[in-house]
Amino acid sequence: MKFFILILFNIVIIFSKQTFFFAQEYDEHGEIPAKIEDKILYKDLIKSCERGDIERVKFLVEAYSPDIEKKDKKGNSPLLISSSSGHIEIVKYLLNKKVNINIQDKLGNTPLNLSLQRGHLNIAKFLLENKVNVELHNKSNSNPLLIASANGYFDIIKILLSFKPNLNHIDELGNNALHYSILGGHEDISVLLLENRINYKTKNKAGKSAIALASQSGVFELLNLFKNTIPNGLIFLPIGEITSEINEEGICSIKIYPKFKSLIGINQIFYIVNENDQIKGNGKIFLTNPKFSRLKVENVKINLGDKIGFFE
pLDDT at 80: 98
**In 3D, which of 191, 218, 227, 194 has the Cα closest to residue 300?**
227
The pLDDT assigned to 15 comes to 44
Whether 195 shows a pLDDT value over 70: the answer reads: yes
| CB-CB neighbours of 37 under 10 Å | 10
Average pLDDT, the chain: 84
Q: What is the pLDDT of residues 260-302, one digit of tens each?
A: 887 788 888 888 888 777 788 888 888 888 888 998 988 888 8
Q: Apex CA 183: angle with CA 177 and CA 184, to 5°?
A: 90
Instruction: Answer for the pair 270, 216: CB distance below 8 angstroms, yes or no.
Output: no
235-312 CATH fold: Elongation Factor Tu (Ef-tu); domain 3 (2.40.30)
Nearest C-alpha neighbor of 125 from the set 91, 167, 168, 151: 91
Question: What ranges in the chain are assigned the alpha helix state H?
Answer: 2-23, 38-51, 54-64, 78-85, 88-96, 111-117, 121-129, 144-151, 154-161, 177-183, 187-195, 210-217, 220-227
Reply yes or no on whether the pLDDT at 132 is more than 90.
yes
What is the rounded distance in angstroms from the CA atom of residue 285 to the CA atom of residue 29? Answer: 72
- What is 16-45 written as a DSSP string? HHHHHHHHTSS-TTSPPPTT--HHHHHHHH
For residue 71, CA distances in Å to 12, 43, 76, 81, 141 come to 34, 10, 5, 10, 22
- What per-residue confidence (pLDDT) applies to 30? 58
Query: What does the pLDDT read at residue 95?
Result: 97
pLDDT of residue 228: 54
The predicted structure's pLDDT at residue 238: 84
Which stretch of 29-43, 105-119, 163-177, 180-194 has the lowest confidence by average pLDDT?
29-43
pLDDT score of 32 more than 80: no
Express each pLDDT in 39-63 by its tens digit.
Answer: 788 999 999 999 999 999 999 999 9
Q: Looking at the domain 24-117, which fold is it?
A: 1.25.40
Q: What is the DSSP letter of 174?
A: S
What residues does 241 pair with on adjacent strands? 255, 307
Give the pLDDT of residue 290. 80
pLDDT of residue 34: 52
CA distance 157 to 283: 30
Run of H or E including 296: strand 293-297
Phi–psi pair at 55, nearest 5 degrees: -65, -40
Ranges of each domain in the chain: 24-117, 235-312
* pLDDT band at residue 225 under the 50/70/90 scheme: low
Give me the DSSP letters along 77-110. Answer: -HHHHHHHHT-HHHHHHHHHTT--TT---TT---
In the predicted model, what is the mean pLDDT of residues 229-239? Answer: 65
* Mean pLDDT, range 162-180, rounded to an integer: 96
Q: Is the pLDDT of residue 222 over 80?
A: no
The string of pLDDT tens digits covering residues 59-117 is: 999 999 999 999 988 899 999 999 999 999 999 999 999 999 999 999 999 999 999 99
- Asked whether this chain's domains 24-117 and 235-312 adopt the same fold, the reply is no
pLDDT at 14: 45
Least confident span in 110-114, 198-202, 250-254 = 198-202
Verdict on whether the full-model pTM lies above 0.85 = no
